[in-house]
Amino acid sequence: MKDKNNVTEFFLVGLTQNEDLQKACFGLFLVFYTAILLGNLLIIVTIKTSPRLNSPMYFFLSYLSFVDICYSSVTAPKLISDFLVKKKTISFVGCIAQLFGGHFFGCTEIFLLTVMAYDRYIAICKPLHYTTIMNKSVCSWMVVSSWLGGFLHSLVQTLLTTNLPFCGPNEIDRFFCDVHPLLKLACTDTYIIGLIVITNSGMISLSSFLVLTVSYIVILVSLRSRSSEGRLKALSTCASHITVVILFFGPCIFIYMRPSTTFSEDKSVAVFYTIITPMLNPLIYTLRNEEVKNAMGQLWSKKSTSGWEMSSEL
C-alpha cells in the first residue's frame, strides 16, 4: 500500500467543461449565492427585530436560515470562482474541510427540520400544553442538540475518509469534495467503509424523513376537527415545512442511500440540495406566511422612516 500523503491536492471536474457555459454559470450562480445570503439574512434580521415573531417556530427558523447560509457557503464560493479558471484544484486539507463543513451543516439542517416538525406537532395537536412543552430552555437544547448531532455525524465521515490511503488518481467528478467521490479514489478496498457511510448519512436522512412524514400525517389528520379558519392557517404553515422537507430530503436520500456509484444526474442533484434549496427556503417561508411578510413590511417601513428623518435633518 502506498503512502496516503502522495496526493496533496485534488482536481475538480466541475459542472461543465464548456467555456461559454462556464461564463454564463458564473453570473447565474453568483446571483443564486447573493440571493441565499440576502434572503436568509433578511429572515434572521426580521425575526430578531420583530417582537411578534418570538414563538419557537420563528426561533428555529432563524437558525435554519443561518445554517442555510453556512451550508451554501461551503461549496458556492469555490464553485463560482472555479467557473473562471481552467484548472480547478483544491488542496487535500481544503477538500477534507469542505467535506466536514458540508456534512456538518447539512446534517444540522436535517435535525433542525425534524425539530421544527415536532414543534408544529405540539402546536397543532397539543395546543394547551404548547407553551409548557416548548419553553425557551427546551427550544435552546433542541438547537444545541441539532448542532451537536451534525458535528458528531460529520466527525465520523471525516475520520473515515482521512484515514484512507490516497495515492492517485486525484480527479473528483464533482464540483466539491464529498465522501462517495473520495471513496472511489482511495487505494484500498472501501466496501465496508462505504456501508458505514450509507448507514451514517443515508439512514439519518431516511429515518428523519420518515419521522417527518409520520408527524405531518398525524398533524393533517388532527386538522379535520378544526374550524375552517384554523385549518387553513395550520395548513399554510405546514405546507411551507413540507415543501422544504421534500426539496431537501429527496436529493439527500438519492445521493446517500446507495453505494459509491456515479450517475450523470449526481451533479444536478448536488446543485439542488447545496444551492437551490437554501435559496428557495426564504421564499417558501415568507410567501406562505403572513406574519413574516407583515414583520418584513414593518421593518422596511421603519428603515424608510428612519432614512427620511435623517435626510430631513441634513
pLDDT digit string, tens, across residues 217-232: 888 888 777 667 667 7
Cβ neighbours of residue 188 under 8 Å, at least 6 residues apart? 1, 164, 165
Any bridge partners for residue 10, and if so which?
90
| Residue partners of 133: CB distance under 8 A and separation at least 6 | 122, 126
Asked whether residue 92 is assigned to any structural domain, the reply reads yes
* Those residues with Cβ within 8 angstroms of residue 247's Cβ, 6 or more apart along the chain or in another chain: 272, 273, 276, 277, 280
Q: Which three cell numbers stand for residue 299?
A: 421593518
Cβ neighbours, 10 Å, residue 259? 12
211 contact partners, CB below 8 Å, separation of at least 6: 114, 117
What residues make up the domain containing 122?
A: 4-294
Residue 134 located in a structural domain: yes
| Burial (Cβ within 10 Å: 0-12, 13-18, ≥19) of residue 20 | exposed
Q: Is residue 145 part of a domain?
A: yes
| Cell numbers standing for residue 170 | 486525484
Tens-digit pLDDT profile for the chain (314 aa)?
Answer: 444 567 889 999 888 888 889 999 999 999 999 999 999 999 999 898 888 888 898 999 999 999 999 999 999 999 999 999 988 999 999 999 999 999 999 999 999 999 998 998 898 888 888 999 999 999 999 999 999 999 999 999 999 888 888 887 889 988 999 988 898 888 888 888 888 887 888 788 888 888 888 888 888 888 777 667 667 766 776 777 788 888 888 888 888 877 666 666 788 888 988 999 899 888 887 766 777 777 777 777 765 555 545 444 54
Answer whether residue 274 is part of any domain.
yes
301 within domain boundaries: no
CATH value at residue 42: 1.20.1070.10
Q: Rounded to an integer, what is the distance from CA 249 to the centroid of its chain?
A: 10
The reply to whether omega before 259 is within 30° of 0 (cis) is no
Strand-pair category, 9-12 with 89-91: antiparallel
Number of domains comprising the chain: 1
Decide if 285 contacts 237 (C-beta within 8 A). Answer: no
Is residue 313, in this structure, part of any structural domain at all?
no
Tens of pLDDT, residues 137-156: 999 999 999 999 999 999 99
Question: Could you tell me if residue 182 is inside a domain?
Answer: yes
This prediction has a pTM of 0.88
Residue 302 lies in a domain: no
DSSP classification of residue 174? S
